């Protein structure tokens, strides 16, 4: 019931932070680079937060 797991890699972890996933589109010859932030908050472990682009969600 209180078990928490990362919503990105599904690993059990106590160190979870609410984040917005960010998709990064690299710059290419015909398009500028861009980032798109999703609206859904996910809980991510430290490993995912260190490997994937994201934006920390506001926590209250
Ligand atoms: Zn993870």
CA–centroid distance, 29 to ligand 1, in Å, is: 33
Q: What is the pLDDT of residues 5-27, one digit of tens each?
A: 999 999 999 999 999 999 999 99
Domain count for the chain: 1
Q: What is the rounded CA–CA span in Å between residue 2 and residue 41?
A: 18
Check residue 9 and report its DSSP letter.
Answer: T
15: domain range? 1-60
CA–centroid distance, 31 to ligand 1, in Å, is: 31
CA–centroid distance, 14 to ligand 1, in Å, is: 11
Confidence band of 60 (pLDDT split at 50, 70, 90)? low
CA–centroid distance, 8 to ligand 1, in Å, is: 5
């Amino acid at each position: 019931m209180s078990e928490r797991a990362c919503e990105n890699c599904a690993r059990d972890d106590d160190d979870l932070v609410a984040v917005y996933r960010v998709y990064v589109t690299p710059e290419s010859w015909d398009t500028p680079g861009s980032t798109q932030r999703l609206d859904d908050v996910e809980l991510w472990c430290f490993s995912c937060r260190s490997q994937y682009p994201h934006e920390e969600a506001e926590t209250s």
